[in-house]
Structure 1
Amino acid sequence: MKLPENTFKRRLHAEPQYGCWASFGTGFSAEILATTGYDWLLIDGEHVPNTVPMVLAQLQAVAPYPSHPVVRAVNGDKDLIKQLLDIGVQTLMVPMVESAEQARELVRAMRYPPHGVRGVGGGLARATRWDSIPDYLEKAHEELCLIVQVESRKGVENVAEIAAVEGVDAVFIGPADLSIGLGHPGNPGHPEVQESIRCVVDATRAAGKACGILAPVDTDAKRYLEWGCTFVAVAIDISLMRQALKDTLSRYRDSDIGPKPSSLY
């Protein structure tokens, strides 16, 4: 059996890839999303109560479909990363990366010795297809993709050094945390926030790496694509479902349906 190809990684510098947040935490809902044509799905372990077994169920559910699963860990804990890689995560996103040293430690967590500290799961790991991939230990890193999130003032200040780290494949911008960290909570459109986002995109591209962002508002997504982002999350399943339900009800009940979903999440 051959090592599965990471199609998302292969296309990072090609045509734009459009993503959707997969936030319901079940294989059933993730599989539904996987049939809709998005290039990638973000299985969120930071703000959604996803455990490792729940992430596994979603990876298995979307495996037959072209949509590539990107898994966001709750943090950069090397033991958690080991578990996620062993269940078959090929593209990992880690939030709140603020220094090149932190980025280097994440790279080490994703690689086997002597280049890293990842433990060997062997026949216990879905990643090896239970020892059916004979050269997994030698080639695993070729199909693994590390995305680091820059979403703080410190991260922006250090983004050039972060993006330059060998083994970091892409930088992803978190507009919500960045806006609140810069003193403009709930306002990613503030000029200071926009300037910081542009800085991250430019520095990342200058390092030869791909840049992505969450942008569920159409005008934002188009602007970031023009700036050079190559993978953009343009939809969030929970927000879309909630708004569709409220809009449907409003056609039958003459009442205030409340505010639109936040543009941040």
Structure 2
Amino acid sequence: MAPAMMSSPASSPPPLDPDSAPLSPEPRILKSRLVAGETLYGLFLLCSSPTLAEITGLAGYNYVVVDMEHGSGGIVEALPCLRALAATRTPAILRLPKLSAAWAKKALDLGPQGLMFPMIESPDAAETSLLLSALAKKFAIFSLSSPRP
């Protein structure tokens, strides 16, 4: 091995501190900041690249919306993006492609900190989104794919 490639004990990384390790962001933090009237800055992620998701998380945004309505990815591509954002402790909101219970359930299985419902253009659509939000809060069950414990 070349001398430049050798590692010495002094250059070893420090042991991992569990208190400073990247963890999934606490969902209530985003909500409490919004309720407090704090101005938050976010970004819409239209591509399904976990690398770009990680970069946006590291850029310091308060949240990132992973857009499945206008973006190029679907539910399968959203999971790696949510995991990349969780690694940076950036809250992720998942924008659904359609207002439906089926999409809401699939999205909740991925463990985002929030859902954004598309095309709320009528009182019926608003009522449906409120119902899905209430059901999500009460009955959310996370699968093995979820980044949450």
- Provide the TM-score with structure 1 as the length reference: 0.41
Cα–Cα, structure 1 residues 98 and 30, in superposed 2: closer, same or farther, change >3 Å? same
Instruction: Give, in whole Å, the separation in 2 of the partners of 1:8 and 1:46.
Output: 22
Residue 121 of structure 1: how far off its partner (Å): 4.3
Partner residue, 1:34: 57
Whether 2:109 is the aligned partner of 1:89: answer no
Q: Could you list the runs of 5+ residues in structure 1 that have no partner in the other structure?
A: 130-265
Say if 1:23 and 1:44, in contact at 8 Å, map to a contact too: yes
* Distance of aligned partners of 1:98 and 1:49 in 2 relative to their CA distance in 1, 3 Å threshold: same
CA contact (8 A) 2:95 2:115 kept: yes
1:48 aligns with 2:68: no
Cα distance in 2, alignment partners of residues 127 and 76 from structure 1: 24
**Aligned runs of 1:60-71 on 2, under 5 Å?**
60-71=83-94
Deviations 1:115-147 (A, max 9, x none): 98x6x6465562763xxxxxxxxxxxxxxxxxx
Contact kept? 2:95, 2:116, Cα under 8 Å: yes
Q: Which residue of 1 aligns with 2:127?
A: 104
Return the letter of the residue paired with 2:48.
G
Alignment partner, residue 7 of structure 1? 29
1:131-142 to 2 correspondences below 5 Å: none
Q: How many pairs are equivalent? A: 124
CA deviation map 1:31-67 (0-9, x unaligned): 0110011111121101112111211111111103242
**Which residue identity lines up with residue 27 of structure 2 in the other structure?**
E
Change (3 A) 1:85 1:57: same
1:57-98 deviation digits (Å, cap 9, x = unpaired): 111111032422121111102101100011102211112212
Aligned Cα RMSD in Å?
2.7
Cα distance change, pair 125–35 in 1 and its aligned pair in 2 (3 A): closer
- Specify whether residues 41 and 123 from structure 1 end up closer, same or farther in structure 2 by C-alpha distance, changes over 3 A only: closer
With normalisation by structure 2, the TM-score equals: 0.70
The amino acid that maps onto 1:29 is L
Q: Larger relative CO (CA 8 A, sep 6+): 1 or 2?
A: 2
Q: Distance in 1 between matches of 2:87 and 2:59?
A: 13
2:146 paired with 1:126:
yes
Q: For the residues of structure 2 that align with 1:58 and 1:90, how far apart are their CA atoms? A: 13
Matched-pair identity in %: 26
Gaps spanning 5+ residues in structure 2: where?
1-24
Q: Take 2:131 and 2:103, find their aligned partners in 1: how far apart are those partners?
A: 13
1:81-230 alignment, distance < 5 Å: 81-112=104-135, 121=141, 124=144, 126=146, 129=149
Q: SS state of the match for residue 80, structure 2?
A: helix
Q: Any conservation in 2 of the 1:45–1:51 contact (CA below 8 Å)?
A: yes
